[in-house]
Amino acid sequence: MSLFLRSAFRFVTCSERIVGYRTFSISTVFGAERKYTKKHEWISFEGEIGTVGITDFAAEQLGDVVFVELPDEGTELERGQSTGAVESVKAASDVYAPISGTVIEKNIDLEKDSSKINKSPFEQGYVLILIL
């Protein structure tokens, strides 16, 4: 969640004299840190590093995840290319790269406990980290 603060100086006419006052407005933007694809992958950026995963909606639709196939570190990916697969008791689905980059880390914890995708898709259940 990001907060944006905007300041403005306003003028009002009050019986023959002009009075100025400063106003502030605060707006909250949810999800400003993450970008989403139509295929339910997400990416969050920190400089030129992008963390990739699947959305909680995708994880919910898949059901209990039982296996995750991840690319090796150093693999170069093109936007839209399959990066691996997620298999559940109900279905299997490819995970696609939301941007082009090189894999610098895969979430090896998912190979040991793939249920982290269901429990925490945005934190512990991320799939991989790319450098752009």
CATH number for the domain harbouring residue 96: 2.40.50.100
Q: Has residue 96 been placed in a domain? A: yes
Query: pLDDT-based confidence at 63, cuts 50/70/90?
Result: very high
The C-alpha atoms of residue 61 and residue 41 are separated, in whole angstroms, by 13
Question: Residue 62: pLDDT band by 50, 70, 90 thresholds?
Answer: very high
- Tens-digit pLDDT profile for residues 25-43: 333 334 448 899 999 999 9
Query: pLDDT tens across 84-107, in order?
Result: 999 999 999 999 999 999 999 999
- On whether residue 12 sits in a domain, the answer given is no
Does residue 127 form part of some domain? yes
What is the percent of the chain with per-residue pLDDT over 70, rounded to a whole number?
76
Residue 105 lies in a domain: yes
Flag the least confident range among 8-22, 61-75, 118-132.
Answer: 8-22
**7 domain residue, yes or no:** no
Instruction: Round to whole Å and give the CA distance between 118 and 86.
Output: 11
pLDDT, position 2 = 41
Residue 22 lies in a domain: no
| pLDDT, position 102 | 97
Q: The whole model's pTM is what?
A: 0.72
Mean pLDDT (the chain, rounded): 82
Whether 18 is covered by a domain: the verdict is no
Number of domains in the chain: 1
Write a three-state SS string for the chain.
Answer: CEEEEEEEEEEEEECCEEEEEEEEEEEEECCCCEEECCCCEEEEEECCEEEEEECHHHHHHHCCEEEEECCCCCCEECCCCEEEEEEECCCEEEEECCCCEEEEEECHHHHHCCCHHHHCCCCCCCCEEEEC
Q: Which residue has the higher pLDDT, 74 or 13?
A: 74
Residue 121 lies in a domain: yes
Host domain of residue 69: 35-131
Segment 8-33 mean pLDDT = 47
